[in-house]
Amino acid sequence: GEHGFTLGHFPQSFEFSTLGGWIATRGAGQTSTGYGKIEQMTLAVRMVTPVGVLETREAPAVATGPCLLDIVVGSEGAYGIITEATMRIRPRPQVQDYRGFLFRTLEEGIAVLRDLMQHGPPPTIARLSDAEETAASLALAHEHRGLRALIEQVVEGYLARQGYRVAPDGSCFLLLGYDGVASRVARRWRRAEEICRDHGGFSLGRSAGESWKRDRFAHPYLRDLLLGVGVMVDTVETATSWTHLLRLYEEVTTAIRAAVRAGDGGPGYVMTHISHIYAEGASLYTTFLGRQIVGREVEQWWEVKRAATEAILSAGGTLSHHHGIGRDHVPWLTREVGPVGVRILRVLKETLDPAGVMNPGVLGV
Amino acid sequence: GEHGFTLGHFPQSFEFSTLGGWIATRGAGQTSTGYGKIEQMTLAVRMVTPVGVLETREAPAVATGPCLLDIVVGSEGAYGIITEATMRIRPRPQVQDYRGFLFRTLEEGIAVLRDLMQHGPPPTIARLSDAEETAASLALAHEHRGLRALIEQVVEGYLARQGYRVAPDGSCFLLLGYDGVASRVARRWRRAEEICRDHGGFSLGRSAGESWKRDRFAHPYLRDLLLGVGVMVDTVETATSWTHLLRLYEEVTTAIRAAVRAGDGGPGYVMTHISHIYAEGASLYTTFLGRQIVGREVEQWWEVKRAATEAILSAGGTLSHHHGIGRDHVPWLTREVGPVGVRILRVLKETLDPAGVMNPGVLGV
């Protein structure tokens, strides 16, 4: 910060999490598209295990056998504690130019993200909400400032006649941003605006971006608040190739909606955004809400979690894009990495933590 | 190729090597700066081991514990055979605009590489030869075409008066290139030419680039030819941070030169290029030649290899940037990855290949 550099890792949990935790869980921050997931930022680590210290070399690339650094990244404390890390840092960006767009359909927004990643200019941040999340964001926003006020002004005059609607079955909001030197950011925006327009995007301008920046770390507080007042709420996340993305989205959404209803949680509310994008595909981040049934909160949540995870794996999604395995995902780990994969995780545990004292239960080891 | 896509991986061994081999050794191609090392290109693998099949998920990113894909990449056949791989491909570039420059000193060339990687535009290919390699390339080139003819024309008229010399203690040749859409490549070259000029670079233009492209896969043939006529010849390679790069270069070069002489190989010839560059540092690739002593060729080579490797590790270089460990580097593996690291490599061997039948001896397992 004060030396003019940034790591560029800003997870939603920024106020509650640590560097060691980011590395241990293979996390991704909100600007992962520009700065990478934590595994792209981690150059070297020192992990203290019960059988000794594992220290990797600080070279920008190596070919000294299987990558031991990538065994430490994602190890979730099961093998040892990460006590030091050498990180790639970047010059702090001169400008962070974040803007908002509306798209009539999720497909049009996805086409923009894919085009930007495959043909450029790749953004620093991209966050495409489905219609449900777009509507919820506007409903939750304060009435008299930021995005809410902006949309209302535009809607009244113009937007509705152009076919953009901000109802749960309506338009999709895209937050798109470029960090960097002012002249380069300006050049990138000229091309990105063109691509958005070509795919039916309606520009909401910079104030939509500013409003998002202001509220970016607020969601963890909202979740705890909701849980405390009788609302079941949680998130699931995954990633897949562009080819499978829309089908994965539809199947996960349908499965969660059905499970909330089946568990007597009412009609429920399921909303999704795409927030980590690659040349080859993207992540999906889905939030679900329902009415909590007093006395069976945990079972009720498990039923939805189970349905969501089964849908993810059946439709070709990965078990976790950036939240790790922990204990909750252990039942599906064999389906994700196969029996040989599970055997590798277990033998690493037996070797590095023979007494089984390091964060027992995570990774299923 | 015929579908308009490229993997972008072109190692010098292109005519002799395979996709499975590139992945197994964590290789790097000549255009690794633009397209990445093989580990950045590999999205998913299928490895058949004696205890079963390990298949990783085809997601663009995952957080499902330690990265099993990165255990397969670099495994050198010790744990199993890679039978399938899903690779990231890119559109075949519209143009490949490669150009040559001369720098009065290696330091000035290094400053250009660092500037390009840290502030842009990062090149697709960059290859900076020290004075010895520059002089040798010109001596080996055919007299009447390409770089040799070009330099002679320029030297006669102009170059020498500007302080550029192509003797073993003189100037350094940089090959720099951009792949891509014509307009973007042209824009990048405008900025790159500026950076080269700012650091004292003398442009030799496109014909120097064309001449390099034509001969790019010829070196393996030359090595075999030399070995057959009584010349000891081999290469060593490493990587380190920009901060340590010049000291590493000097210590490795000095150590090899002394070892060739001590082994009665004559004055020897030691030459180096930097060919894989990163925001954080770069690789070094050193070729050494000497007179072969009949009857003790292997011992003579081992003495030089040992001296070079000791110098690399003492000066903060990694044991291998892109050639892997194999059997030759096993004596230094503990210094590179530590005792806990060696234990991990060994326990993976015992788990995946309990009978020890897979490429025995590599990785020291």
Q: ipTM of the assembly?
A: 0.92
Mean pLDDT, range B43-65, rounded to an integer: 96
| pLDDT score of B195 more than 60 | yes
Q: How do residues B299-334 score in pLDDT, each as one tens digit?
A: 999 999 999 999 999 999 999 999 999 999 999 999
Query: Looking at the domain assignment, is residue B209 inside a domain?
Result: yes
CB contact under 8 A, A324 and B59: no
Query: Looking at the domain assignment, is residue B297 inside a domain?
Result: yes
- Interchain contact A351–B (C-beta under 8 A): yes
Shortest CA gap B70–chain A (Å): 6
Mean pLDDT of chain B: 92
Same domain, B106 and B167: yes
Query: Looking at the domain assignment, is residue A340 inside a domain?
Result: no
Poorest-confidence range of A13-27, A337-351, B266-280?
A: A13-27
Mean pLDDT, range A90-104, rounded to an integer: 95
Q: How do residues B246-289 score in pLDDT, each as one tens digit?
A: 999 999 999 999 999 999 999 999 999 999 999 999 999 999 99
Same domain, B53 and B84: yes
Please identify, among B279, B299, B314, the residue that sits at the C-terminal boundary of a domain.
Answer: B314
212-251 in B: which are within 8 Å (CB) of A? 238-241
- Interchain contact A134–B (C-beta under 8 A): no
Mean pLDDT, range A320-335, rounded to an integer: 97
Indicate the helix (H) or strand (E) that contains B235. strand B231-241
Same domain, A229 and A196: no
Confidence of residue B121 (pLDDT cuts 50, 70, 90): very high
Domain holding B64, by residue range, is 5-91
Query: Looking at the domain assignment, is residue A336 inside a domain?
Result: no
Same domain, B38 and B117: no
What pLDDT score does A23 carry?
A: 96
CB contact under 8 A, B64 and A325: yes
Same domain, A101 and A194: yes
Which positions ≥6 away from B4 have C-beta within 8 Å?
A: B91, B92
| pLDDT score of A96 more than 90 | yes
| pLDDT score of A284 more than 70 | yes
Domain count, chain B: 3
Please identify, among A45, A73, A91, the residue that sits at the C-terminal boundary of a domain.
Answer: A91
> What is the rounded CA–CA span in Å between residue B318 and residue B320?
5
Confidence of residue A290 (pLDDT cuts 50, 70, 90): very high
What pLDDT score does A140 carry?
A: 73
| pLDDT score of A143 more than 70 | no
How many CB pairs (< 8 A) connect A and B? 235
Confidence of residue A219 (pLDDT cuts 50, 70, 90): low
Same domain, B80 and B101: no
What pLDDT score does B238 carry?
A: 98
Mean pLDDT, range A160-180, rounded to an integer: 91
What pLDDT score does A120 carry?
A: 83
Confidence of residue B220 (pLDDT cuts 50, 70, 90): low
Confidence of residue A167 (pLDDT cuts 50, 70, 90): confident
Query: Looking at the domain assignment, is residue B358 inside a domain?
Result: no
| pLDDT score of B146 more than 70 | no
Query: Looking at the domain assignment, is residue B329 inside a domain?
Result: no
Shortest CA gap B142–chain A (Å): 35
Same domain, B240 and B282: yes
Same domain, B84 and B99: no
Q: Which of A65, A321, A341 sits opposite B61 (nearest CB)?
A: A321
Chain B nearest-CA residue for A335? B57
Domain CATH for B239: 3.30.300.330
Query: Looking at the domain assignment, is residue B289 inside a domain?
Result: yes
What pLDDT score does A348 carry?
A: 98
Q: How do residues A190-206 score in pLDDT, each as one tens digit?
A: 999 999 999 999 999 99
Domain CATH for A18: 3.30.465.10
Q: How do residues B323-365 score in pLDDT, each as one tens digit?
A: 999 999 999 999 999 999 999 999 999 999 999 999 999 999 9
Q: Which is higher by pLDDT, A213 or B278?
A: B278
- Which of A32, A38, A54, A57 to substitute to test the interface with B, most B CBs within 10 Å? A57
Which positions ≥6 away from B184 have C-beta within 8 Å?
A: A120
| pLDDT score of B144 more than 60 | no
Query: Looking at the domain assignment, is residue B341 inside a domain?
Result: no
- Which of A113, A344, A345, A358 to substitute to test the interface with B, most B CBs within 10 Å? A344
Same domain, B20 and B34: yes
Please identify, among B32, B61, B91, the residue that sits at the C-terminal boundary of a domain.
Answer: B91
A326-329: Cβ within 8 A, 24+ apart: A326/A76, A326/A362, A327/A361, A327/A362, A329/B64
Same domain, A43 and A147: no
| pLDDT score of B151 more than 80 | no
CB contact under 8 A, B324 and A63: yes
What pLDDT score does A169 carry?
A: 87
Mean pLDDT of chain A: 92
Confidence of residue A211 (pLDDT cuts 50, 70, 90): confident
Same domain, B152 and B80: no
Q: Which amino acid is at A355?
A: A
| pLDDT score of A329 more than 60 | yes
CB contact under 8 A, A54 and B341: yes
Indicate the helix (H) or strand (E) that contains B234. strand B231-241
CB contact under 8 A, A26 and B345: no
Contact A275, A12 (CB under 8 A): no
Catalytic residue among B249, B269, B278, B285: B285
Mean pLDDT, range A226-230, rounded to an integer: 79
Chain B nearest-CA residue for A53? B340
Mean pLDDT, range A220-225, rounded to an integer: 68
What pLDDT score does B169 carry?
A: 87
| pLDDT score of A208 more than 80 | yes
Contact A162, A197 (CB under 8 A): no
Same domain, A80 and A142: no
Q: What is the SS3 assignment for B50?
A: coil
72-131 in A: which are within 8 Å (CB) of B? 72-76, 88, 90-91, 118-120
